[in-house]
Amino acid sequence: MTSLFSKTISLRKELKISDAEFAQLRDFIYAQSGIYVADNRKYLVENRLATRIKELNLKSFAEYHAFLQYDAGRRQELNRLFEVITTNETSFYRNPPQLKVFQDMVLKDVLDKLKAQRQKRLRIWSAGCSTGEEPYTIAIILHEVLRAELPAWDIRITANDLSEAVLAQAREAVYSDYSLRTTPKEIVARYFTPDGANFKLKPEVKRLVSFGQINLSDRMQLKRVERSHIVFCRNVIIYFDDEMKKNVITAFYDNLLPGGQLLIGHSESLHNISRAFRPKHYPGAIIYSKEE
């Protein structure tokens, strides 16, 4: 019996993407999502989409492009396309040094200012939330910081992603050991319950987060997001070209309330992208602030 691995290899040998087909699909992906697929990632497009083409009983990448444009099932397939071209590598408490700065400095500063203004309404946006680990980590940190005070606060974490599939997983809030690999053991014990071989997030954490699909290349969708005190967009803009980066960062700036804070991935930078933000340097992290 032919193994699944052998079938996959056979399929990849049979189905090759031409330069013209790659350019066609790359332009389509960029127009739909703002994600730019560089020439050196051509093999990824070929490998990852070959299975989709086979399952749809299509014969070429050109036919797949036509399917995405004209078929009655194109909306559903577009979601599948987004799933295969994006990488959803994440975990709870990812990049601990940055999260420590967020908890001890950024969040404390925002909460203190709100309390001084006799306000207890906090809005945080997690743009590119993947399967939920980032916004749920933020929710856990809020529980850790506010503790008994938390019920008196009006808190909403808006969590968005391009892929409906990862959002469905996020809403389930059931995670494996691998997703919790960077999470302190006492946090796992406090905020998760065992669920077979996995761990289920407790309802009091889930209720702080609201999930929804968003396309960061769609300016009108971005404008509809409630204005925020803090925006997280970590390890997302690396997929964009400079023009798209500028558009997205401008949208974040417009969304943030005066004095708001932007956190991006530790390997990302706003250098040559935006001068609107004021960078604040902390041990292990740079936080970008909007002027008050």
Residue 12 has pLDDT above 80, yes or no: no
Strands 285-289 and 278-282: antiparallel
DSSP per-residue string spanning 80-147: HHHHHHS-----TT-SHHHHHHIIIIIHHHHHHHHHHTT--EEEEEEES-TTTHHHHHHHHHHHHHHG
* Per-residue model confidence as pLDDT tens digits over 156-178: 999 999 888 899 999 999 999 99
Report if residue 13 sits inside a domain.
Answer: no
For position 28, which CATH number holds? Answer: 1.10.155.10
Question: Can you tell me whether residue 203 is helix, strand or coil?
Answer: helix
Q: Specify whether the CB–CB gap between 269 and 240 falls below 8 A.
A: no
**Is residue 59 pLDDT above 50, yes or no?**
yes
Question: Does residue 9 lie within any of the structural domains?
Answer: no
Domain membership flag for residue 90: no
24 and 122 part of one domain: no
Residue range(s) defining the domain that contains residue 184: 96-289
Contact between residue 181 and residue 137 where contact means Cβ atoms under 8 Å apart: no
Better-predicted residue by pLDDT, 223 or 31: 223
d(CA 34, CA 13) in angstroms, rounded, equals: 30
Query: 105 with 222, same domain?
Result: yes
Question: Does one domain contain both 68 and 154?
Answer: no
**% of the chain residues with pLDDT over 90:** 66
Both 46 and 184 in a single domain? no
Residues 162 and 234 in one domain: yes
pLDDT in tens, 236-258: 888 888 999 999 999 999 999 99
- Residue 169 in any domain: the answer is yes
Q: Rounded to whole angstroms, what are the CA distances from 71 to 56, 162, 201?
A: 11, 21, 39
The pLDDT of residue 3 is above 60: no
Strands 198-201 and 174-175: antiparallel
Q: Is residue 7 part of a domain?
A: no
Query: Domain for residue 2, yes or no?
Result: no
Q: How many CB atoms lie within 10 A of CB 80?
A: 18
Clarify whether residues 147 and 167 are in a common domain: yes
Distance (Å, whole) CA 3 – CA 118: 65
- Together in a domain, 113 and 203: yes
Q: Is residue 111 part of a domain?
A: yes
Same domain as 281, residue 156: yes
pLDDT at 87: 66
Q: How many domains is the chain built from?
A: 2
Domain boundary residue among 32, 57, 85? 85
Q: What CATH number has the domain bearing residue 209? A: 3.40.50.150
Among residues 59, 85, 111, the one where a domain terminates is: 85
pTM of the model: 0.84
Where among 85, 107, 135 does a domain terminate?
A: 85
User: Are 80 and 170 members of one domain?
Assistant: no
Same domain membership, residue 247 and residue 133: yes
Average pLDDT over residues 118-147: 97
Residue 10 maps to a domain: no
Nearest C-alpha neighbor of 199 from the set 140, 146, 265: 140
- Domain match, 171 and 107 both: yes
Residue 226 and residue 139 share a domain? yes
